[in-house]
Chain A
Amino acid sequence: MVRALELEGVTTVFGYPGAAICPFYDALLDSPIHHVLTRNEQGAAHAASGYARAGHTTGVCIATSGPGATNLITGIATAYMDSIPMVAITGQVASDLIGSDSFQEADITGATSPFTKHNYLINSADELPRVFREAFYLAASGRPGPVLIDVPVDIQSEMLEFIRPESVELPGYQPKLKPEPEQMLDLRKLLAESQRPVVCAGGGVISAGASEPLQQLIDKWQIPVITTMMGIGSVPADHPRYLGTMGSHGVFAANFALHHADCLILLGARVGNRAMGSATAIARRAKVVHIDIDPAELGKNIRPHLAINADLRQVIAELLTEKPAADWQDWLTETDRLRTQQRTRWPCAVMSDHTISPPHLLERLGSKAPADTILTTEVGQNQIWAANHYPIRQAGTFISSGGMGTMGYGLPAALGAQCACPERQVISISGDGSLQMSLQELGTIRQQRLPVRIILLNNSRLGMVHEIQSLKYNQRYSQVFLEENPDFSLLAAAYGFQYEQISQNGQIDSALDHLLTAEGPFFLECVVDPHEPTLYPIAKEETP
């Protein structure tokens, strides 16, 4: 198994040992593979995800049987929803004990089948070379996703001559890569007839490595582009044609374009309810072209006028050959105006001299941090602020749990990203709720001597739920207060982080300078007003 990982080019893995995976861990001692010991198996899965996303590779996580394996599930499900290539390896009780409810036995292939692209329960050591080869191929090809391999402990100790199969034979798995020429003609025809086209880039653009070709297309065609949250980074935030993120927590310009387009080109976006809650209404107004490598996404949440099942890179390469003859000038003028208005609006509802404005902080961070800085987020208000106010300039540098919305993702994802990119700035944006869901991973960061930066937006509550309860539940706040939070300065000291706390907007610049220039890990705590919202009311006169 260790040999299989080496032959797949794996250099770093994340995991947590236990009795049922001990033969593997014993062999790992003799391998150059670097193992990162997390503090919880869920952290290993999230770290592998962060590693995969930052390093554009397949992440590997390892756990023992029973609770070790079940602890991975949230991480696996998170990776599945966001189509992250990952191979999870779990130990299983000995073959002859399976089914007897033995100590630390769990049916992990059964439990993860809704959340994995595929999974395997190994019956014999002979299967291992083929299964590892297939697992890495499946995880990274087509629509990427997690694959789990469950290996009984006795099989881990068997001897075999390891020969990596040259190729994989999976007749039931043939991702379609090339678009049909007639469909490309239809697409060109729709674009030529359109007056208000919009390209919507989803996470698929990033996983397909199609971000640069997409930018070329946008530059060449001069067509407005919006992104889903997972698509952030597929176009640089400062690109003149980029209108921002769409959806319930997106920005006005992007949602305006989405709702007023007459031709919507969805690229690797799965039309999730948070991004496109009104998919049916949009499809009534606009000709929808849905392009995805996963045919099951086509027609699932929206009925497109044209559905193209293909690899985005190939579709974009084909489109780049010729610009459609259409005049979109009026539409460009209109979207440009909205975009400019958006940039000049001061997005801060609470101006106070004893709290930090998260939008302002994130904009300042964006102007100071290098373009290749990797930002991870948790889930909650911190995620929305980061998505809307930090200017992401490169694909794969915004690492956030989009589909699953997993709190506790950002910190382990940051440590994984830092392992993949040791020379780059990795900043974990978090709230006081979500930070404490994976708090134990501070220990992993310390042990690995990773210079991860944490920016804690502390409003002493579960801010997003608080905001929902404020808007929809008559301000009846139920179980959202975290007023007995620990003293984060002591916590930072305990784990060897430099620490600074700020509570005035005037302190932001110097604190960020300290954070960005610190040698080792840095913990910046920002006191945030509990009523600072993520949804800003739009004044009447701003609506065109």
Chain B
Amino acid sequence: MKPYHLSVLVNNHAGLLAKVAGLFSRRHFNIDSLAVGVAETPGQSRMTIVVNGDEQMVEQVVRQLDKLIDVLEIEVLPDQQSVQRELLLIKMSASPETRSEILQVAEIFRAHIVDVSHDSLTLEVTGQADKIAAFLNLLQPLGIRQVIRTGTVAIRRS
């Protein structure tokens, strides 16, 4: 079992996201994340789907997705020859004691401070799954209030 990154080009139809999500649940495919946004061609979107499984399962995922009429292209992105990024927004409780440590961690991970209040700090960070995981791990003891992640988006290297 390992994560596979699928880049899926689709027609921008209402209901398609439900069809894709429904397909994953009814066929018992494990979906780690799904990110979707408009693509370069008007009327089309590109999804990055991260699936956890083995090669055989991913092959089935690809073939089943391909049966959807509004799915135009599917590519399983090779780990080494693709760039993967996820964006994370995290709101931390920030007391006088923890504030500086949070800022230190943020600096190391090149996170941006996007919002500040008397008792909180909101940070933004992008990176690959392992960087996000390490970042979260370091912040864990410092008082996380809320986490929001986009899910991974990925693109093949030229």
Contacts and interface: CB of A to CB of B under 8 A. Distances in A.
Interface residues of B, number: 21
Nearest to A172: B72
A113 B64 CA distance: 13
Interface string B69-108: 1111000000000000000000000000000000000000
Nearest to A297: B63
A300 B57 CA distance: 9
A173 interface: yes
B60 A172 contact: no
Contact of A295 (B22, B23, B66, B72): B66
Interface stretch (B11-19, B119-127, B134-142, B149-157): B11-19
Contact of B67 (A296, A298, A303): A296
A516 B19 CA distance: 48
A117 B67 CA distance: 8
A173 B63 contact: no
- Secondary structure class of chain A's binding surface, majority of residues: loop
A544 interface: no
A113 B18 contact: yes
Given A113-B18, A113-B22, A114-B22, A296 B60 contact: yes
Contacts of B72: 171-172
Contacts of B18: 110, 113
Interface in B46-69: 56, 59-60, 63-64, 66-69
B28 interface: no
- Secondary structure class of chain B's binding surface, majority of residues: helix
B67 A294 contact: yes
A303 B60 CA distance: 12
Contacts, number: 43
Contacts of A173: 69
Nearest to A309: B63
Interface residues of A, number: 19
A138 B26 contact: no
> Of residues A110, A114, A171, A172, which shows the largest number of chain B Cβ atoms within 10 Å of its Cβ?
A172
Contacts of A296: 60, 63-64, 66-67
A56 interface: no
A172 B69 contact: yes
B64 A138 contact: no
Contact of B15 (A110, A294, A295, A300): A110
Interface string A278-322: 000000000000000011101110010000000000000000000
A10 interface: no
Nearest to B61: A296
A498 interface: no
A170 B72 CA distance: 9
A295 B63 CA distance: 6
A104 interface: no
A299 B59 contact: yes
A121 interface: yes
Contact of A138 (B15, B69, B71): B69
Interface string A95-128: 0000000000000011001100110010000000
A138 B70 CA distance: 12
A172 B15 contact: no
Interface in A153-204: 170-173
Interface string B26-46: 100000000000000000000
B69 A170 contact: yes
Nearest to B18: A110
A121 B15 contact: yes
B147 to A, nearest CB: 30
A427 to B, nearest CB: 35
Contacts of B19: 113
Interface in A21-66: none
10 contacts: A118-B68, A171-B72, A172-B11, A294-B67, A295-B66, A296-B64, A298-B63, A299-B60, A300-B60, A303-B56
Interface of B: 10-11, 14-15, 18-19, 22-23, 26, 56, 59-60, 63-64, 66-72
Interface of A: 109-110, 113-114, 117-118, 121, 138, 170-173, 294-296, 298-300, 303
Given A296-B64, A299-B63, 8 more contacts: A109-B15, A113-B19, A113-B22, A118-B69, A170-B69, A172-B10, A296-B67, A300-B63
